[in-house]
């Protein structure tokens, strides 16, 4: 079974530039998550999709971050404009069924973003 795919793996940009990350979840997984993991911290949920609808985006900085999941499959996370504090690893994860509190999440390898 193919895992969660993310691209690019690494990205270096200057502040105020824009950047986009792509995620393709495991086939058949209805739920998709984007996390931000700052060095030395645990992952923080940015946004959660159930199919192509948003379940939770309470921690997404909506003035600069946006995400979409067209057709309920792959997803794109965008930052515009980027700030220095956005330097982090951006993780995508997917799971089968959000109706279970014990749902296992499957993570991609992440995209390491450096903002100069």
CA 104 to CA 99: how far, in whole Å?
11
CA 50 to CA 24: how far, in whole Å?
14
Among residues 17 and 22, whose Cβ is nearest to another protein?
22
Among residues 38 and 116, whose Cβ is nearest to another protein?
38
CB of 101 to another protein, least distance (A): 4
Please name which of 23, 44, 24 lies closest in space to residue 35, comparing C-alpha atoms: 44
Among residues 9 and 15, whose Cβ is nearest to another protein?
9
Interacting residues toward another protein by CB under 8 A: 3-4, 33, 40-45, 48, 55-56, 91, 93, 98-99, 101-110
CB of 56 to another protein, least distance (A): 6
CB of 43 to another protein, least distance (A): 5
Among residues 17 and 107, whose Cβ is nearest to another protein?
107
**Which CA distances in Å does 81 have to 8, 11, 13, 18, 40?**
18, 15, 10, 5, 24
């Amino acid at each position: 079974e193919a895992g969660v795919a993310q691209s690019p793996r690494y990205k270096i940009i200057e502040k105020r530039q824009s950047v986009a990350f792509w995620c393709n979840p495991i086939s058949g997984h209805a739920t998709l998550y984007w996390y931000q993991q700052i060095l030395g911290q645990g992952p923080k949920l940015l946004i959660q999709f159930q199919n192509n609808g948003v379940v939770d985006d309470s921690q997404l900085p909506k003035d600069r971050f946006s995400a979409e999941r067209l057709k309920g499959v792959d997803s794109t996370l965008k930052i515009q404009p980027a700030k220095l504090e956005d330097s982090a690893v951006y993780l995508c994860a997917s799971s089968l069924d959000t109706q279970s509190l014990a749902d296992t999440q499957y993570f991609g390898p992440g995209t390491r973003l450096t903002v100069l």
